[in-house]
């Protein structure tokens, strides 16, 4: 009887877990002994980090373009429960539970909205659906009144995603309301805007100022209603567009495993990405917290870590299941970089966990960012078995080059 690896999630970690497990199956010559299936709510792999862009055309690609050539079955459905004792999953709409011998949990994360009164329509760029809703809303503004509220957008959250969408919104508002429209974009955060960007803060400040984006650092949003946003200090901003970019929290499926998670809901995993304290389960991507180096840094919710975590989780799960423990590969990713899109003002590229070293900025950094978003993080476009397996090799890529 064959054994089975089930991967939950079709994002960066999930897709590459399945591909790497299939690569290991081929490498070990156990095609008839090992089944691999991926469970995902929809048939697409979403390049999530691009959902803030105006053109969503390149943001999704069919999972089957990667899974079919390498013999991975795709099960369309949402996992609603994990029973680690029985080694089964409940899938929405399915009468029977799905059994596994090894599970790779990679369902990702979702937007964490603040606990404030929200009675008006709000938006996000956390998913393809969120990006679509925002795009449709902005396009519909053209048919509305030409007043200050219509021309104003508020971004709640001044982290990386908040800064990226704030830099795009002036041009997107003008595209809807006309090139001469007096648009207004305000970004609000309870900390400094771009607080985590270290030495790059000055570059961000200049970019936001050049784009006319107003900032409200160290400010709290008290409520959101149909008229706009109320801040805790009494300021009210009339706005037809309110975008939340308030961080992420791991999928609630992590709670089913019965182990203590971190403050973001992430599972603790060992160096081989096996969940600590749970037999037969690996985790990767946004739902897992792994040691990235020997200095105490943990992985972050980013495709920079999700992709290699997936490649190693898939390989290691196959090794574990097929009785090849000596061929497992430990996860180790000490070289951390951040590349932040600043819209028409280019981009910002920093190195180091504290983002303390400025590698590039402006147009030079933008080329690198476009290379990452447009090709580096995509599966091979030719879709051949050999190309997919090569991309699924359990390695950590070198940092992106500046061209």
Contact 177, 333 (CB under 8 A): no
Q: CA–CA distance from 178 to each of 136, 142, 149, 182, 234 (Å)?
A: 16, 8, 15, 9, 31
Contact 164, 204 (CB under 8 A): no
Contact 119, 251 (CB under 8 A): no
Q: How many residues would you count in the chain?
A: 403
Nearest alpha carbon to residue 314 among 15, 6, 20? 20
**Per-residue pLDDT, 182:** 96
- The CATH fold assigned to 3-111+248-335 is FAD/NAD(P)-binding domain (3.50.50)
**Per-residue pLDDT, 82:** 98
Torsional class of 387: left (φ above 0), alpha (ψ -120 to 50), beta (otherwise): alpha
**Domain boundary assignment for the chain:** 3-111+248-335, 123-244
Token pair recorded at residue 334: 């000490």
- Residues 163-196 as b/e (b if ≥16 CB within 10 A, e otherwise) read bbbbbbbbebbebbbeeebebbbbbbbbeebbee
Nearest alpha carbon to residue 396 among 328, 338, 330? 330
Distance CA 184, CA 157 (A): 16
- Quote the crossing angle between the two packed helices 160-177 and 201-210, to the nearest 10°: 10
Q: CA–CA distance from 83 to each of 40, 318, 328 (Å)?
A: 18, 20, 25
Residue whose tokens read 């050049």: 210
Name the β-bridge partners of 75.
39
- Residues 82-118 as b/e (b if ≥16 CB within 10 A, e otherwise) read bebeebbbbbeeeeeebebbbbbbbbbbbbbbeeeeb
Tell the CATH superfamily of the 123-244 domain: FAD/NAD(P)-binding domain (3.50.50.60)
**Per-residue pLDDT, 382:** 85
Q: State the 10-residue block means of pLDDT for the chain, 403 residues long.
A: 94 98 98 97 97 96 97 97 98 92 98 96 98 98 94 98 98 97 97 90 97 98 98 98 97 97 98 98 98 96 97 98 97 95 97 92 96 95 93 90 78
The 3-class secondary structure across 121-179, one letter per residue, is: CCEECCCHHHHHHHHHHHHHHHHCCCCCCCCEEEEECCCHHHHHHHHHHHHHHHHHHCC
**Per-residue pLDDT, 199:** 81
Contact 309, 282 (CB under 8 A): no
Answer whether 3-111+248-335 and 123-244 agree in fold: yes
Token pair recorded at residue 136: 């449709």
């Amino acid at each position: 009887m064959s054994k089975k690896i089930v991967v939950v999630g079709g994002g960066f970690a999930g897709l590459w877990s399945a591909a790497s497990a299939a690569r290991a199956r081929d490498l070990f010559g156990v095609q008839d002994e090992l089944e691999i299936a991926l469970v995902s709510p929809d048939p697409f792999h979403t390049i999530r980090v691009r959902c803030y862009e105006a053109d969503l055309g390149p943001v999704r690609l069919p999972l089957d373009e990667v899974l079919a050539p390498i013999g991975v079955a795709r099960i369309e459905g949402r996992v609603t429960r994990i029973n680690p004792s029985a080694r089964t999953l409940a899938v929405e709409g399915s009468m029977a539970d799905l059994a596994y011998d090894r599970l790779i949990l990679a369902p990702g994360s979702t937007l964490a909205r603040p606990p404030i009164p929200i009675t008006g329509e709000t938006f996000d760029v956390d998913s393809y659906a969120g990006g679509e809703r925002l795009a449709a809303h902005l396009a519909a503004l053209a048919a509305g009144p030409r007043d200050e509220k219509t021309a104003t957008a508020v971004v709640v959250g001044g982290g990386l995603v908040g800064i990226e969408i704030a830099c795009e919104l002036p041009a997107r508002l003008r595209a809807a309301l006309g090139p001469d429209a007096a648009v207004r974009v305000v970004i609000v955060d309870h900390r400094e805007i771009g607080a985590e960007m270290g030495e790059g803060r000055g570059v961000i400040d200049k970019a936001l100022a050049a784009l006319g984006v107003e900032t409200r650092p160290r400010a709290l949003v008290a409520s959101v209603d149909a008229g706009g946003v109320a801040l805790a200090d009494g300021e009210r901003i009339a706005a037809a567009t309110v975008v939340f970019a308030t961080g992420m929290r791991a999928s609630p499926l992590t709670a089913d495993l019965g182990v203590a998670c971190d403050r973001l809901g992430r599972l603790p995993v060992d160096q081989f990405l096996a969940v600590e304290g749970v037999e037969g389960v690996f985790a990767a991507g946004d739902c897992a917290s792994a040691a990235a180096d020997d200095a105490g840094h943990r992985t972050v919710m980013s495709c920079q870590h999700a992709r290699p975590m997936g490649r190693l989780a898939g390989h290691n799960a196959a090794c574990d299941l097929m009785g090849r423990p000596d061929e497992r590969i430990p996860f180790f990713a000490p070289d951390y970089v951040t590349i932040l899109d600043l819209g028409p003002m280019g981009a910002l590229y920093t190195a180091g966990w504290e983002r303390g070293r400025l590698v590039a900025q402006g147009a030079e950094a933008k080329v690198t960012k476009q290379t990452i978003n447009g090709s580096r993080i995509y599966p091979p476009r030719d879709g051949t078995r050999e190309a997919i397996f090569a991309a699924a090799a359990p390695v950590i890529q070198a940092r992106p080059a500046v061209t």
